[in-house]
């Protein structure tokens, strides 16, 4: 894989760390800012909504800019946002800083996916996207556990200071190694970017992304309280479980990219079916330390085997003008994050026990599976109609 992909992965490592590390620090944040854990969970929701709102705005505003320039600008925005998080004096300003940080997230992964795919032959495009998202998986295996441990030992602000430094490295790496792409090509027009949304398959692909992410975040947003109150493990052991989840998503990302280059829709459908089963099983497994730990690992493998295939599906369906659609799919993932965190928090507020949250996740995964099957059937019918003509 080209060295430029590793530069993109450095940036995605920083972005993934700042997005997910909040989950391991919810108890510390709640105590320090004098809010409840569900209120602290809204910091995840606000970040996700920032991606949903900011991604399309930035994608539209940068349509005619070189992609490399855009990526450098987005990583710089990431640095500024995390700096504001580190110095935020209260809950409201931390919330605002999270939104600022999130504004560049969707556009970075949307445009970065297209750049990654352009660097390799067609039959390796999903694997190239998986390499981009490998930064996120490494964030979960290294950045999130380390950030959680750092925040627990020295205060949650210290974690954001480290993320700022990672962001500065990513800006330098992209400037040094990512080539200028699309030289000599006519800039994309907004009309062509919007025209792809006439294709119902684009909407179905993004709907799968929304519901799949919601199935994870309805439960994983509250993974620290689940492991500490239901499973009965210590905060230090929670960090180790998060490390195993990171190992799982690293494996799942690599496997998903390879399978998607072979059979795209079959990979999505099979992984969603497994995801529903794993999450339902977590309802029982959460009461036993060994079973809970193993389930969290498998959960990570299965969930992240879907990320590169779902991104590839949107880019494939919107191949005529993929910039906006690819960015909006990142918004779709994060809309699902926000909905999932809200659904889980609302369920807890109304009295649902922590050990019942995985049932909500399994139901959402089943809904995503139904959408994927419908998209697959429509695609097969269209191919049959074309063949008949």
In a domain? residue 183: no
By CB atoms closer than 10 A (0-12, 13-18, 19+), residue 103 is buried
- Total number of domains in the chain: 1
- pLDDT, position 189: 62
In a domain? residue 3: no
The CATH number assigned to the domain holding 330 equals 1.20.1250.20
In a domain? residue 4: no
In a domain? residue 123: yes
In a domain? residue 389: no
Q: Is the pTM of this model over 0.85?
A: no
In a domain? residue 182: no
Rounded Cα–Cα distance for residues 14 and 26 (Å): 19
Q: Which residue range(s) make up the domain with 60?
A: 9-177+188-381
pLDDT tens for 187-199 read: 556 676 777 788 8
In a domain? residue 388: no
SS3 257: helix
In a domain? residue 373: yes
Is 60 exceeded by the pLDDT of residue 183? no
pLDDT tens for 107-159 read: 898 888 888 888 888 788 888 888 888 888 888 778 888 888 888 888 888 99
Residue 98's CB is within 10 A of a number of other CB atoms, namely 26
Residue 351, Ramachandran bin (φ over 0: left; ψ between -120 and 50: alpha; else beta):
left
């Amino acid at each position: 894989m080209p060295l430029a992909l590793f530069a993109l992965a450095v940036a995605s490592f920083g972005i993934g760390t700042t997005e997910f590390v909040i989950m391991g620090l919810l108890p510390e944040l709640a105590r320090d800012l004098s809010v409840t854990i569900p209120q602290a969970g809204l910091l995840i929701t606000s970040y996700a909504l920032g991606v949903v709102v900011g991604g399309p705005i930035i994608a539209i505003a940068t349509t005619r800019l070189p992609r490399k320039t855009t990526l450098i600008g987005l990583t710089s925005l990431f640095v500024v946002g995390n700096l504001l998080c580190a110095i935020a004096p209260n809950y409201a300003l931390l919330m605002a800083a999270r939104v600022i940080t999130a504004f560049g997230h969707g556009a970075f992964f949307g445009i970065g996916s297209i750049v990654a795919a352009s660097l390799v032959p067609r039959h390796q495009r999903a694997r190239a996207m998986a390499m981009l998202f490998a930064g996120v998986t490494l964030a979960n295996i290294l950045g999130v556990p380390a950030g959680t441990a750092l925040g627990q030992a020295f205060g949650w602000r210290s974690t954001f200071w480290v993320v700022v430094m990672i962001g500065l490295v990513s800006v330098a790496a992209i400037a040094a190694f990512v080539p200028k792409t699309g030289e000599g090509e006519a800039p994309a027009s907004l009309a062509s970017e919007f025209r792809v949304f006439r294709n119902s398959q684009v909407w179905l692909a993004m709907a799968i992304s929304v519901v799949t992410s919601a199935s994870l975040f309805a439960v994983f947003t509250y993974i620290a309280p689940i492991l500490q109150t239901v499973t009965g493990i210590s905060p230090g052991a929670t960090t180790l479980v998060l490390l195993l989840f990171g190992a799982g998503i690293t494996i799942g990302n690599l496997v998903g990219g390879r399978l998607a280059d072979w059979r795209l829709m079959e990979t999505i459908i099979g992984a969603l079916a497994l995801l529903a089963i794993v999450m339902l099983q977590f309802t029982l497994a959460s009461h036993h330390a060994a079973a809970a730990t193993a389930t969290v690992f498998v959960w990570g493998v299965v969930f992240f085997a879907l990320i590169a295939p779902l991104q590839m599906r949107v880019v494939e369906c919107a191949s005529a003008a993929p910039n906006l659609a690819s960015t909006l799919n990142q918004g779709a993932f994060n809309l699902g994050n926000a909905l999932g965190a809200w659904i889980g928090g609302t369920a807890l507020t109304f009295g649902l026990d922590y050990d019942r949250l995985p049932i909500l996740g399994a139901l959402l995964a089943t809904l995503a599976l139904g959408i994927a099957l419908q998209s697959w059937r429509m695609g097969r019918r269209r191919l049959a109609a074309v063949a008949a003509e």
